[in-house]
Amino acid sequence: MASSALTHALFSPLTSHSPISNRTLLTPSLALPRKQFGSPVLSTHSNLTHKAFIVNCTPPEKESTNQELPIELRYPAFPTVMDINQIREILPHRFPFLLVDRVIEYKAGESAVAIKNVTINDNFFPGHFPDRPIMPGVLMIEAMAQVGGLVMLQPEVGGSKDNFFFAGIDKVRFRKPVIAGDTLVMKMTLTKLQKRFGIAKMEGKAYVGGEVVCEGEFLMAMG
């Protein structure tokens, strides 16, 4: 009798007349306790709360059908906002002391970003140093000051190449050496301008490969 009632309860539809209709369906099957029925019985019903297990099945990535990019397209070139000819029209410096090759970003009256391509043919390398070519720190500072000059000598600031001078530096730090083959990326930002006294203060940072190699505060004088 008990076995027949159990069979009816386990395999009959869940209705209001079923003795286990108030229980929650759980998948997969669980074993009911041994002491209640005397032997382990697999049941498709339990009073436990139903839980859903979601498996994220992501299809394998499709193999790229694009051929490998040619070498000339893998490494994008720096943009050109001012080329060397435009730079020469603004700065009074000439060889061997013009240390800015290209302006890649410019915000009138605010900031400029320029590059200096450091090559073994630079005239300072034979003496600094013959066995280990390193760009002199003072020339990095000079190059950054020239980038600052590209900001200060524009009409937005009110300067001209006839009345601009490098007045001083402060808090200068050299983080890493710059060697032949590096591209020095320099950013100069105008932080304070006193037109009445002809004084401007700028912050500068120079990078190689995304790392800071030099930084400092610059004082410019106009007049």
Closest CA to 198 of 165, 149, 171, 156: 165
| Strand residues in 23-120 grouped as ranges (E) | 24-31, 42-46, 102-107, 111-117
Question: Which residues, other chains included, contact 19 with Cβ-Cβ below 8 Å and sequence gap of 6+?
Answer: 5, 9
128 has catalytic annotation: yes
Active-site residue, from 8, 45, 50, 128:
128
Pairing of strands 199-208, 111-117: unpaired
Tokens 């009073």 sit on residue: 47
Count Cα neighbours of 117 within 13 Å in the Cβ-side half-sphere.
9
Catalytic residues: 128
